[in-house]
Amino acid sequence: MKISIIVAKAKNNVIGKDNQLIWRLSADLQLFKNHTIGHHIIMGRKTYESVGRPLPNRTSIVVTRNSFFEVPEGHMVAHSLEEAIQICIGKRLDNVFIIGGAEIYNQALPIADELMITEVNALPDGDVFFPEFDKSEWKIVSTTSYFKDEKNEYDFDFVVYKKLKP
Ligand SMILES: NC(=O)c1ccc[n+]([C@@H]2O[C@H](COP(=O)([O-])OP(=O)(O)OC[C@H]3O[C@@H](n4cnc5c(N)ncnc54)[C@H](OP(=O)(O)O)[C@@H]3O)[C@@H](O)[C@H]2O)c1
């Protein structure tokens, strides 16, 4: 099963502030939707609460230490990232997407096979960051550039990295 991380990060690695996203990038939201639709998505409890509901047409697995946490029918709770991954392996999925936030990205980076990174050409203030990763362990397989317009606050590149096998 391929484990993909999908994230939008600024040049200074900022990914959020006050439990919110910090930019208006309609083309990036569309990319996120196109890639994740129909799939299982794993997220931390804070990211789940910042969205406020399961994203439509995807199966959410919310990671929390709270044993009383509940999600709507059809979605799942896991009490560690490993448990979330095991659920997906048990369902014989081809691909699962890790959609954040920072705590979950940190734990998922060592086991990810693919990074889909929206590299936003901005230096915003923020309080959560995507972790630094060793670029020598990854190969860029595609880069697509998008330009600022009335629906997209900043220029950005959508870069797909594949993990190089040791
Ligand atoms: N730019 C992007 O692409 C992007 C994507 C996603 C999120 N974000 C931003 O990231 C921020 C949220 O990130 P965050 O790092 O604060 O929170 P998070 O990773 O979304 O969630 C953290 C929570 O996940 C649970 N958790 C983490 N590790 C766990 C483990 N090993 N076992 C069990 N539970 C575990 C804990 O929940 P409990 O406290 O309930 O136990 C923890 O408080 C927001 O600002 C959001 O907008 C940005």
* Per-residue pLDDT tens over the stretch 87-109: 999 999 999 999 999 999 999 99
Q: Where are the domains of the chain?
A: 2-163
- Read off the pLDDT of each residue in 111-124 and give the average, rounded to a whole number: 98
Kindly tell me if the per-residue pLDDT of 19 is higher than 80: yes
Phi, psi of 90 (to 5 degrees): -60, -30
Closest residue to atom 26 of ligand 1, CA basis = 64
- Read off the pLDDT of each residue in 97-123 and give the average, rounded to a whole number: 98
- Separation between Cα atoms, residue 84 and residue 47, nearest integer Å: 15
pLDDT of residue 152: 98
Give me the residue label for tokens 């609460």: 49
Give me the residue label for tokens 């490993």: 82
CA dihedral 123, 124, 125, 129 (to 10 degrees): -80
pLDDT in tens, 136-153: 999 999 999 999 999 999
CA distances in angstroms from 133 to 80, 121, 127, 137, listed in the order given? 22, 18, 19, 8
- Read off the pLDDT of each residue in 107-117 and give the average, rounded to a whole number: 98
Kindly tell me if the per-residue pLDDT of 163 is higher than 90: yes
- The helices-and-strands tally (H runs, E runs) of the chain is 4, 10
Residues with CB under 6 A from ligand 1: 7-8, 15-16, 19-21, 43-47, 50, 63-66, 79-81, 99-104, 107, 128
Distance 124 CA to ligand 1 centre (A): 19
CATH topology of domain 2-163: Dihydrofolate Reductase, subunit A (3.40.430)
